[in-house]
Chain A
Amino acid sequence: MKPLDPRLLRYARGTRAYLVATVVLGVILAALIVAQATLLAHGITAVFLDGAGAGDLLPTLVALAAVVAGRAAIAWAQETVAARSSAAVKSELRTRLLAHLVALGPGRGPDTGAVTALVTRGLDALDAYFARYLPQLVLAALVPAVVLARLLPADLTATLTIALTLPLIPVFMALVGLHTQAANRRQFRLLARLSHHFLDVVAGLTTLKIFGRAGAQAATIRRISAEQRHLTMRTLRIAFLSSLVLELLATLSVALVAVGIGLRLVSGHLDLTTALLVLILAPEAYLPLRQVGAHYHASTEGLAAAEEAFAILETPAPTSGSAPAPAGTIVFDDVLVRFRGRDALRLSARVEPGEVVALSGPSGCGKSTAFNVLLGFVTPDRGRVVVGGVDLATVDPAAWRSTIAWVPQRPYLFAGTVRDNIALGRMPTALPAPPTAFAQCFTGDGLGAPGPEVAAAARLAGADSFISALPDGYDTALGDDGSGLSAGQRQRIAVARAFLRDAPIVLLDEPTANLDQVTADEIMAAVRRLARGRTVLLAAHRPELIALADRVIDLGPPPDEAVPVRSPAVDPAQPVGAR
Chain B
Amino acid sequence: MSWIRLLRVAAGPATGGLLLAVLAGAGAAGAAVGLMAVSAWLISRAALHPPVLHLMVAIVAVRAFGLGRGVLRYAERLAGHDAALRVLGRLRARVFARLAELAPAGLAGYRRADLAERLAADVDAVLDMLTRVLLPYAVAVLVGTGSVLLVGAYSPLTGLTLAAGLVLIGAAVPVLQARAARRADGRRAPLRAGLATGTADLLHGLPDLLAYDAARARLAGLADTGARLRGAEQRSAAMAGVSAAVTALVTGVCLLVGLAAGAVAVRSGELSGELLAVVVLTPLAVFETAAGLPVAAQHFAAARASLRRLADVLATPAPVVAPVAPVAVPDGPHTLRLERVGAAWTPGRTVLHDIDLELAPGARVALVGPSGCGKSTVAALMVRFLDPTAGRVTLDGVDLRRIAPERIRQIVGYLPEDAYLFDTTIAANLRIGAPDATDDRLRSVLAQARLLDWVDTLPDGLETLVGEHGRALSGGQRRRLVLARALLADFRVLILDEPTEHLDDETAAALLDDLLAAAAGRSVLVITHRTDIASRVDEVIELAAPSSLARS
Which residues of chain B are near A392, meaning CB under 8 Å? none
Interface assignment of B304: CB less than 8 Å from any CB of chain A: no
- Contact present for B241 and A203 (CB under 8 Å): no
Which residues of chain B are near A205, meaning CB under 8 Å? 99-100, 103-104, 107
| Cβ 8 A contact of B477, one of A79, A210, A562 | A562
A46 to B231, CA, bound (A): 51
**How close is A318's CB to chain B, nearest CB, in angstroms?**
12
Residue of A nearest to B64 (CB): A255
| Cβ 8 A contact of A276, one of B43, B55, B485, B504 | B43
- Contact present for B210 and A517 (CB under 8 Å): no
For chain B, residues 427 to 481, give those with C-beta under 8 angstroms from any C-beta of chain A. 432-433, 435, 454, 457-459, 464-469, 471-477
Residue of B nearest to A195 (CB): B120
A-B contact list, 21 entries, CB within 8 Å: A48-B277, A80-B240, A90-B230, A120-B195, A201-B422, A205-B104, A209-B104, A209-B409, A226-B89, A229-B86, A251-B69, A272-B47, A375-B211, A411-B208, A430-B220, A433-B224, A438-B190, A438-B224, A439-B194, A444-B221, A579-B471
| Given contacts A101-B203, A375-B210, A518-B370, A275 and B43 within 8 Å (CB-CB) | yes
Interface assignment of A84: CB less than 8 Å from any CB of chain B: yes
| Cβ 8 A contact of B194, one of A80, A442, A481 | A442
A443 to B250, CA, bound (A): 49
A102 to B215, CA, bound (A): 7
Which residues of chain B are near A411, meaning CB under 8 Å? 208
| Cβ 8 A contact of B210, one of A65, A106, A565 | A106
- Contact present for B224 and A408 (CB under 8 Å): no
Which residues of chain A are near B202, meaning CB under 8 Å? 98, 101-102
A225 to B86, CA, bound (A): 8
- Contact present for B69 and A247 (CB under 8 Å): yes
| Cβ 8 A contact of B47, one of A78, A201, A265, A565 | A265
Of A330-338, A345-353, A380-388, A568-576, the one with at least 4 CB within 8 A of chain B: A568-576
**How close is B417's CB to chain A, nearest CB, in angstroms?**
6
A578 to B475, CA, bound (A): 8
For chain A, residues 204 to 261, give those with C-beta under 8 angstroms from any C-beta of chain B. 204-219, 221-222, 225-226, 228-229, 232-233, 236-237, 240-241, 243-248, 251-252, 254-256, 258-259, 261
- Contact present for A221 and B96 (CB under 8 Å): yes
- Contact present for B252 and A68 (CB under 8 Å): yes
Interface centre among A202, A377, A401 (most CB of B within 10 A): A202
Which residues of chain B are near A519, meaning CB under 8 Å? 370-371
For chain A, residues 522 to 579, give those with C-beta under 8 angstroms from any C-beta of chain B. 541-543, 561-566, 568, 571, 573-579
- Contact present for A72 and B248 (CB under 8 Å): yes
Bitwise, A265-289 to B at CB < 8 A (1) or not (0) is 1101001100110011001000100
| Cβ 8 A contact of A47, one of B55, B88, B214, B266 | B266
Interface assignment of B32: CB less than 8 Å from any CB of chain A: yes
| Cβ 8 A contact of B199, one of A76, A119, A211 | A119
Residue of A nearest to B406 (CB): A212
A50 to B288, CA, bound (A): 30
- Contact present for A53 and B66 (CB under 8 Å): no
Of A108-116, A146-154, A450-458, the one with at least 4 CB within 8 A of chain B: A108-116
**How close is A546's CB to chain B, nearest CB, in angstroms?**
11
- Contact present for B263 and A256 (CB under 8 Å): no
Interface assignment of B219: CB less than 8 Å from any CB of chain A: yes
Interface assignment of A479: CB less than 8 Å from any CB of chain B: yes
| Cβ 8 A contact of A61, one of B42, B62, B259, B473 | B259
Bitwise, B525-550 to A at CB < 8 A (1) or not (0) is 00001010000000000000010000
| Given contacts A211-B432, A427-B214, A516-B529, A40 and B281 within 8 Å (CB-CB) | yes
Of B72-80, B327-335, B352-360, the one with at least 4 CB within 8 A of chain A: B72-80
A211 to B97, CA, bound (A): 15
List the 8 closest A-B pairs by CB distance, nearest first: A68-B252, A255-B66, A83-B237, A425-B212, A488-B371, A225-B89, A441-B221, A247-B70
- Contact present for A258 and B266 (CB under 8 Å): no
Which residues of chain A are near B464, meaning CB under 8 Å? 564
A428 to B216, CA, bound (A): 9
Which residues of chain B are near A169, meaning CB under 8 Å? none
| Cβ 8 A contact of A517, one of B475, B507, B531 | B531
Q: How many residues of A are in contact with the other chain, CB < 8 A?
A: 194
A214 to B196, CA, bound (A): 25
Which residues of chain A are near B190, meaning CB under 8 Å? 437-438
Which residues of chain A are near B281, meaning CB under 8 Å? 40, 279-280
- Contact present for A244 and B422 (CB under 8 Å): no
Interface centre among B121, B471, B507 (most CB of A within 10 A): B471
Bitwise, A24-58 to B at CB < 8 A (1) or not (0) is 00000000000010001001100111011110010
Interface assignment of B8: CB less than 8 Å from any CB of chain A: no
Known contacts A72-B252, A105-B210, A564-B477; 14 additional CB pairs below 8 A are A61-B259, A64-B259, A106-B210, A112-B468, A205-B99, A210-B416, A212-B409, A251-B66, A401-B210, A404-B211, A441-B222, A442-B221, A514-B501, A517-B529
Residue of B nearest to A93 (CB): B226
- Contact present for B371 and A486 (CB under 8 Å): yes
Q: How large is the interface on B (under 10, 10 to 19, 20 to 34, 35 or more residues)?
A: 35 or more
- Contact present for B66 and A409 (CB under 8 Å): no
Which residues of chain A are near B505, meaning CB under 8 Å? 541-543
Interface assignment of A188: CB less than 8 Å from any CB of chain B: no
Which residues of chain B are near A485, meaning CB under 8 Å? 372
**How close is B192's CB to chain A, nearest CB, in angstroms?**
6
**How close is A14's CB to chain B, nearest CB, in angstroms?**
10
Bitwise, B219-236 to A at CB < 8 A (1) or not (0) is 111111111111001101
For chain B, residues 149 to 205, give those with C-beta under 8 angstroms from any C-beta of chain A. 190-192, 194-205
| Cβ 8 A contact of B93, one of A47, A222, A252, A514 | A222
- Contact present for A486 and B62 (CB under 8 Å): no
A428 to B218, CA, bound (A): 10
| Given contacts A229-B82, A241-B74, A251-B70, A49 and B47 within 8 Å (CB-CB) | yes
**How close is B274's CB to chain A, nearest CB, in angstroms?**
7
Interface assignment of A91: CB less than 8 Å from any CB of chain B: yes
Which residues of chain A are near B433, meaning CB under 8 Å? 211
Residue of B nearest to A425 (CB): B212
- Contact present for A566 and B465 (CB under 8 Å): yes
Interface assignment of B414: CB less than 8 Å from any CB of chain A: yes
Interface assignment of B520: CB less than 8 Å from any CB of chain A: no
Which residues of chain A are near B468, meaning CB under 8 Å? 111-113, 200, 568, 579
Interface assignment of B140: CB less than 8 Å from any CB of chain A: no
- Contact present for A363 and B116 (CB under 8 Å): no
Interface centre among A74, A115, A207 (most CB of B within 10 A): A207
- Contact present for B206 and A102 (CB under 8 Å): yes
Bitwise, A97-139 to B at CB < 8 A (1) or not (0) is 0110110011001011101110111000000000100000000
